[in-house]
Structure 1
Amino acid sequence: MRQITEFVSGKFTAWIVLGLTIIAAAILFATAPASTGTIAPTAGLPSATQSAQVAELQKSLPNSDAGFALIVFDRSGSPLTEADKTAIAARSAALAPESLSGRLPPAQYSEDGTAALIPMPLAAAADSTAQGERVTSLRATAQADLPQGLNAYLTGPEGFQADVAAAFQGADFKLLLVTVIVVAALLLITYRSPWLWLVPLAVIGAADALASVIVKDLAQVFGFTIDASISGILSVLVFGAGTNYALLLIARYREELRQHEKRSTAMSMALRGAGPAILASGSTVTLSLLTLLFASLEGNRALGFACAIGIVTAMIFALIVLPAALVIFGRGLFWPFVPRFGSESPTEHGFWARLGRAVSKRPAVVTVVSVVVLGALAVGALSISVGLSQVQQFRGNPESAQGQSVIDAAFPAGQSAQTAVIVPTDAVADAVTIATATPGVSAATPGQSAGTITQLNVTLDAEPGSQQAFDTITTLRQAYADAPNAASAALVGGTDATALDTRVAAAHDQALIIPLILAIVFIVLLVLLRAIVAPVLLILTVVASYFASLGAANLVFSSVFKIPAFDTSVVLFSFLFLVALGVDYNIFLVTRAREESLRLGTREGMIHALSATGGVITSAGILLAAVFAVLSVLPIIALTQIGVIVGIGVLLDTLLVRTVLVPALVFLTGDRFWWPSRVGAAIASGSSAAGSSAVGEAPRAAQLN
């Protein structure tokens, strides 16, 4: 370890480190493949699900890759006039040449006469860009020359897919730009130096760019699809975690510069002091992300794969490239607050030291109050609901969502959803009979055939994406499974079936991944601290913080934003990011407390650790919360929810859990916090022991481990 830190921080070898980094990065950038990712995110259902099997079988049907749109007209709830109907017929004629068959059926009018609906089959689009351009053109045609007050909307699968793709169009650059601005501003405020902030920002920015290239390279090798949402989360995670590591290292480097005249020696000591905590933190996050490789949803696996690479890259840059850059620039980088050799650290008697001593006087009261606060916030998690309809997935109100709302209000529920049943051709009659006899099914008609299979087009009574629709899908599947004839081979897919299978797969992933994450965090803490009590207590605090943030976010979304549920991916991703990243701050604090406890005893060791790391960890937490809040830049509810939950949780970890609750637990348990290690159990030497113990301090004597 010593040889590595001395090489990275050496006066001349630091230049070698930077030079090799630049050469390696240039090679990777020069050989990077063209992007093969998609714009809109995809869940990627397991092949064993009926929805996935139906989608695969549909490829053999005629025009299997065709698109489908719905054109809906309304007058904001008022009855349509004769002039409106004439205009609708004219728009239908204008749109007909763009349909798959070159003609469109007559418009369907709602029973109350307030809306008209035209189904529109479309030829397959070459890619999402071509699809978006086609949707824009069709919308312009549908809305041309309409009477005053008559509205036209293009919705259905084609409309939603185009609007989702549009929401992610340019997402990489937008998220990166806002993230850089947020990080730059907070670093400038933190360091109060005109140029110190530029070094960590440049290093972490390079790490983010390089991580993106590496992910694209390896994604092709391992067959992962990296969509825009994954790329966005990757950048947010690299900047958030990488800047946290940079803040911790620079803070320790500043301390060491006061004790060592040579900056290379100071950096070497800073790396030996902060390096293990950064390695433990990065390893925890990386291993937690890799648990997603066991997920059933392809999108979850791709996210874990990409973000694990991002964290490793950020960690390497923080431990190798950043130290070299800081050593090269010297002490003047900290101007105007240059840490002079021999000067006293301002943290020794500052706010955090006073807070630590105040908590040490009443640790039981602080613990109870903290637990009550977390428990009160966690109550909101008892009423959470999971699963959003298509309309609810946007934070704004795109045209597809507006059109779907008109259909839901004016036409029978299920009119716009597509439920497809693939059955053996010789069992079509029986399959239709079973479907129409199933409660919740309003119609079932035979569709296209190919070889030995035929598709039934089934219409449900329930609103698309509702629990009633899911119940009907489940009942229909069971009815086919129980059929005594060839209809038992029927498979139910389509819009609602896919949403149901995605929800079930997400629940499976949660049940599998969450325990794995907790186990990994526990093992890392066990190895790092060589204790059992400490890891258990730290994990309990982080889990409590997670439920408190989930409850608080649920209250915010349901009460303020009127969003009734979380997206299916939000619970797992929020837990992953909060537990893995939230434990970072505990690692930063407790590893320093363990180091100081060997010298000062448990009580004074924790106070000193809090005084030394309080400012930097608070800055890191605020920065990370702000970076995750950047996800709200995109108008996608799932990303907004993840950003809000993680932001709240990180602030709770930073300002409550790490600031007062963990120190209070250490003060309550004393040396038992480190059990079975004997950290802090120093034996007094000399008569000073009594005086030291009178104020609750362990003597600075033998250092037993």
Structure 2
Amino acid sequence: MLERFIRGLARAKWAILLGWLAIAAVAVLALPDLASIVRQTEQKFVPADSESVVAKNMLARINPESTTRSSAILVYSREGGMNDQDRAWLKAKASELAGLDGKDGFKSVQSAYETPELASKFRSKDGTTEMLIVGFSGTDNDALTQDAVDSLNERIKGAPEGSKVELTGSAPIGKDFQESSSNGLKKTELLTVGLVLVILLIVFRSPVAPFVPLITIGISLVITRGLVAAATHWGMPVSSFTESFLIAVMFGAGTDYCILLIQRFREELSRDGDKVEALVRTVRTVGKTVAFSASTVFVAFFLIGFAQFGLYQSAVGVSIGVAVTLIAGLTLTPALLMIFGQATFWPSRIADGQGHGESKMWNAMASLAARRPVAILLVTVILLAPLTLLYHNKRSFDDLAEISPSLGSVQGFRQVERSFGSGEVFPLSIAITSDASMRTPEALAAMETASASVAKLSGVKEVRSAVRPLGVQLADLTVTDQLTKTSEALQQLKEGVDKVAGGLTDAESSIAGGQGDVDKLAGGLRTMAGKTKEAQAGLDRIYGGLQQASKGAEQLAGGVGQSVSVSDSMSSDLTALLKSHPELKDDASMRKLMATQQGLSDGLKQLKGGADRLSSSFSQLNPGVAKVAGGLGQLASGQTDAADGAAKLGTGLKNLTGGLSAGAQGLGDVSKGLAQVKEAEQSIGDSQIPGWNLPQSALDSPELQQALDYYIAKDGKTAKIDVVLAVNPYSPEAQDTVGQVRDALRHSLSGSSLADAKVYVSGTSAQISELKSLSKSDFMRTGAFVLIGIFIVLMIMLRSLLAPLYLLLSLVFNFLVTMGIVEFTFVKLLGKEGLSWSASFFIFLIIVALGVDYSIFLMARFKEEYRPGGIRQAMTKAMSTTGGVIVSAAVIMGGTFAALMMSGVNTLLQIGAGIVVGLILYAFVFMGLVVPALANLFGEANWFFGKARKKKKYEGETNV
């Protein structure tokens, strides 16, 4: 049946070629464009249920009308300082961009000109740099956002001479990354085709033969791109790496498969010159090897689809490419061989071509592995194992390191970093949710305490929230500030009372003189009348002083009442704190604070008592003065009433004396209470525990309401806190700070009225923290799937349990050695912070998935040549005949991935370097020495199950 199928391929060669060309045309015309889809795809691939995504969705609900999904930062700078012309240009540009609100992807503009109260946030202290933040309605990779960034780039042209204007932020950085990847992909395609063409010309020594694999793989790649693009509609993820891996794997593996077919066809054609029979023998033998080799690659990349991390899943599209390449290799390649026939190898003569023949070098290595298997294994482990110790899995998550530092987005970021701090570009945004409204004094006080605790962290530069809209504490609402203002009011009151006291002293002297005149009333009414007028004048002065004192007493009562309320609130807060944290009862600082609070309370209560007595004294004093004034009036109006007037005057003077005495006592209480308030205030300041008191009047103020609307949802159940980091958001320190911020918030809120609130952190640094843990765990999980899948394929092909085990162990060991070399090169020698965070995963995947091909080439021939008791002979024959094929395959595969190193993307550079090192190392060291040594060492145990195969019908009919 297989033979009939192959002969049918030979007869329908032109129909097969036209059929593949027609399919490729349909793929181009009818299927989506993969490059366009990749450009519009989010590259982080953080799961939808991750904390940062949940937080971002929650924050969008606070103020949907003004929430932006991405942004760009216009960075304007002038060395030596900005001038008036610069500011005028920026102001006009801010006004121009503000007019685009709601148009063409633009949504908002923030600048020192739009919000003057925040000017310090947009202008550097040294006066050299100013920022303007533009918000977009779409995500970074949205087509409308990308167009808006292009439009913004055009609009910032024509800045004053000598200035520098750059765009940075999430959208421009994402755009530059995509363009770098796209340009790198174009270079990779050209370099890959060029390298493959050169290598094939060397291998075949013919200008015709290379076009067989190039046509096969080229058509397969066109079809695969369309299929992968179409599969995205059913949820298949793609990334900027998808196309790069498609090109490298399909050209690398596909060329290897074509080499096997072409070399074997050349060998079979030299037998009798019958190209049909040569094709039948070729596909019947090498076809099985190609099918098993492609199966391992297909299984490896297919199992990537079970990864939880989207960026890893984006490599699953390669499995489609491998399947298409396998089908094309077993149909289109034979058809092309039939079309070209003997001309495939022109100008070489067919009689001279016998495949790779037997390699003397590989024959020598086979003999060495057979004679000294244990020694080879020991020497290999001793020499290579130390290299694995160089691998510490140091990873970098810096997106800016992926692209050229000369790009505008990178230069703009560095300028912001120098002038403001890099944390300004990518702050943390924290969502706090509660079942109850957070638009209450108690909740806002808890939020202030939490903000203060976060602001103390070493990695935090500034905290902005509803109670800190400008990034600093609202001093008017602190207990310390309120006590200070109360103290100032009391001091003013005391000064007024002192003046009253002075007036009372003067009045007392006059009254004393008047009292003497009253006693001498019988001696002369005329003298008494004069003295009475003097006393009346003194009483007028007293009355004015008493009016001022009365108002002061009212102010005193109000201030003391508010202070008592503050003291009670503080007592309640301390009591609640002790209930939440009983261990603080034994803390010396807490005991001091409790004593201070008690002193404050006692002082305020004593002050209140003095104020009450003072008020009562003034109440008694006023009637007395009125009576005295009436008596003096009667005395002046007629001498006949002098006796009664004198009596009333005496009574009034007595009341006045009592009032003055009570007033003096009240003033003493005021001074004493004021001293205690100041002492308590000083103790609170020394304890550095900021109290918080939010009167309803402050809560209802327009300024605070504006901050609440920006940071808290209308229903009050979702709040936002922005944290500006003091470190680079891509750095390991930033990732550590994310955890510290989260812990500080949760700990602070747990002892407050928001004890049940939930905290979710988003932002670039938060996403990096998630990527760090998610990618690591998914690597281990998915890597295990890949190894198991390949093990099953090898077990079926080799009919052995032991051989697949040591083949996979050799691949894993080779991976660790490779990563040690790569990490040492890039981190130690080139000074990188670490390898790109995804590099190790893709290096592992490709080394295992493609390196196992060489094992299949060798072990398939070994299995074919094996006879009971003939392990050494079978391995020697397998190595001498397949060694050249393995070398050619390794060189071609390494060449295709070496092209990735020219892409201009740091991750692809590291992946390309790692794969080149790993494949060459595996092909020469492991396949040349280690695997043959293991096969010879285990002997008959290689075939744990299965039987030795019989002789083939054709003497030369082998799998390779």
TM-score by length of 1: 0.87
1:540 aligns with 2:821: no
Q: 2: CA distance between counterparts of 1:136 and 1:85?
A: 27
Post-superposition shift, 1:510? 0.8
Relative distance call for 1:136 and 1:338 in structure 2 (3 A) is: same
Equivalent residues in 2 for 1:595-606, closer than 5 Å: 595-598=864-867, 601-606=870-875
2:407 aligns with 398
2:943 aligns with 674
1:89 aligns with 87
Q: 1: CA distance between counterparts of 2:355 and 2:152?
A: 67
Q: Given that residues 480 and 487 in structure 1 are in contact (C-alpha distance below 8 angstroms), is that contact kept between their aligned partners in structure 2? A: no
Task: Choose from 381, 385, 399 the match for 1:375.
Answer: 385
2:464 aligns with 444
Relative distance call for 1:600 and 1:326 in structure 2 (3 A) is: farther
Relative distance call for 1:156 and 1:91 in structure 2 (3 A) is: farther
Post-superposition shift, 1:112? 7.0
Post-superposition shift, 1:360? 3.3
Q: Given that residues 836 and 906 in structure 2 are in contact (C-alpha distance below 8 angstroms), is that contact kept between their aligned partners in structure 1? A: yes
Moved more, 636-645 or 206-215: 636-645
Q: Supply the AA of the counterpart residue of 1:496.
A: S
SS at match of 1:555: helix
1:256 aligns with 268
Q: Supply the AA of the counterpart residue of 2:387.
A: L
1:697 aligns with none
Task: Choose from 290, 295, 307 the match for 1:278.
Answer: 290
Note the alpha carbon deviations across 1:607-638, whole angstroms, 9 max, x for none. 22222221122111111111112223332212
Q: 2: CA distance between counterparts of 1:591 and 1:101?
A: 65
Task: Choose from 336, 348, 357 the match for 2:347.
Answer: 336
1:475 aligns with 740
Equivalent residues in 2 for 1:77-476, closer than 5 Å: 80-82=79-81, 84-96=82-94, 97-99=96-98, 100-101=107-108, 104-105=111-112, 106=119, 113=126, 115-124=128-137, 131-132=145-146, 134-135=148-149, 138=152, 144-146=158-160, 148=162, 151-170=164-183, 172-220=185-233, 222-304=234-316, 306-340=317-351, 347-348=357-358, 350-381=360-391, 383-412=392-421, 414-424=423-433, 426-427=437-438, 429=444, 430-438=446-454, 439=457, 440-441=459-460, 442-446=462-466, 447-452=710-715, 453-476=718-741
SS at match of 1:215: helix
Relative distance call for 1:74 and 1:162 in structure 2 (3 A) is: same
Q: Given that residues 431 and 487 in structure 1 are in contact (C-alpha distance below 8 angstroms), is that contact kept between their aligned partners in structure 2? A: no
CA RMSD, Structure 1 to Structure 2 (Å): 3.1
1:69 aligns with 72
Q: Supply the AA of the counterpart residue of 1:236.
A: A
Q: 2: CA distance between counterparts of 1:432 and 1:138?
A: 38
SS at match of 1:62: coil
Q: Given that residues 396 and 635 in structure 1 are in contact (C-alpha distance below 8 angstroms), is that contact kept between their aligned partners in structure 2? A: no
Relative distance call for 1:474 and 1:631 in structure 2 (3 A) is: same
Q: Given that residues 451 and 465 in structure 2 are in contact (C-alpha distance below 8 angstroms), is that contact kept between their aligned partners in structure 1? A: no
Post-superposition shift, 1:116? 2.1
SS at match of 2:423: coil
Relative distance call for 1:560 and 1:468 in structure 2 (3 A) is: closer
Note the alpha carbon deviations across 1:511-555, whole angstroms, 9 max, x for none. 210111111121111111111221111111111111111111111
Q: Supply the AA of the counterpart residue of 1:571.
A: S
Relative distance call for 1:468 and 1:346 in structure 2 (3 A) is: closer
Long gaps (5+) in structure 1: 683-699, 701-705
1:509 aligns with 2:778: yes
Q: 1: CA distance between counterparts of 2:395 and 2:150?
A: 32
Q: Supply the AA of the counterpart residue of 1:323.
A: P
Relative distance call for 1:534 and 1:15 in structure 2 (3 A) is: same
Q: Supply the AA of the counterpart residue of 2:93.
A: L
Relative distance call for 1:261 and 1:151 in structure 2 (3 A) is: same
Q: 1: CA distance between counterparts of 2:337 and 2:922?
A: 29
Q: 2: CA distance between counterparts of 1:472 and 1:4?
A: 68
Q: Given that residues 598 and 680 in structure 1 are in contact (C-alpha distance below 8 angstroms), is that contact kept between their aligned partners in structure 2? A: yes
1:52 aligns with 53
Moved more, 389-398 or 565-574: 389-398
Moved more, 588-597 or 663-672: 663-672
Q: Given that residues 432 and 456 in structure 1 are in contact (C-alpha distance below 8 angstroms), is that contact kept between their aligned partners in structure 2? A: no
SS at match of 2:424: coil
Post-superposition shift, 1:208? 0.7
Q: Given that residues 21 and 219 in structure 2 are in contact (C-alpha distance below 8 angstroms), is that contact kept between their aligned partners in structure 1? A: no
Q: Given that residues 414 and 462 in structure 1 are in contact (C-alpha distance below 8 angstroms), is that contact kept between their aligned partners in structure 2? A: yes
| Higher Rg | 2
Q: Given that residues 389 and 820 in structure 2 are in contact (C-alpha distance below 8 angstroms), is that contact kept between their aligned partners in structure 1? A: yes
Q: Given that residues 480 and 488 in structure 1 are in contact (C-alpha distance below 8 angstroms), is that contact kept between their aligned partners in structure 2? A: no
Q: Supply the AA of the counterpart residue of 1:157.
A: S
Higher share in helix: 2
Q: 1: CA distance between counterparts of 2:226 and 2:771?
A: 30
Q: Supply the AA of the counterpart residue of 1:297.
A: F
Relative distance call for 1:630 and 1:171 in structure 2 (3 A) is: same
Relative distance call for 1:141 and 1:444 in structure 2 (3 A) is: same
Which has the higher relative contact order, 1 or 2, with Cα contacts under 8 A spaced 6 or more apart?
A: 2
Moved more, 385-394 or 208-217: 385-394
Post-superposition shift, 1:71? 3.4
Q: 2: CA distance between counterparts of 1:155 and 1:473?
A: 23
Post-superposition shift, 1:302? 2.9
SS at match of 1:330: helix
Q: 2: CA distance between counterparts of 1:321 and 1:256?
A: 19
SS at match of 1:443: strand
Q: 1: CA distance between counterparts of 2:826 and 2:145?
A: 32
Relative distance call for 1:445 and 1:379 in structure 2 (3 A) is: same
Moved more, 205-214 or 436-445: 436-445
Q: 1: CA distance between counterparts of 2:795 and 2:886?
A: 22
Note the alpha carbon deviations across 1:483-508, whole angstroms, 9 max, x for none. 44266223211121112112222112
SS at match of 1:458: strand
Q: Given that residues 76 and 164 in structure 2 are in contact (C-alpha distance below 8 angstroms), is that contact kept between their aligned partners in structure 1? A: yes
Relative distance call for 1:33 and 1:24 in structure 2 (3 A) is: same
Post-superposition shift, 1:584? 0.8
SS at match of 1:194: coil
Task: Choose from 917, 927, 935 the match for 1:658.
Answer: 927
Long gaps (5+) in structure 2: 99-106, 113-118, 467-709, 956-960
Task: Choose from 839, 842, 852 the match for 1:583.
Answer: 852
Note the alpha carbon deviations across 1:391-426, whole angstroms, 9 max, x for none. 322254422222323333443462322211123483
Q: Supply the AA of the counterpart residue of 1:176.
A: E
Q: 1: CA distance between counterparts of 2:337 and 2:43?
A: 42
SS at match of 1:414: helix
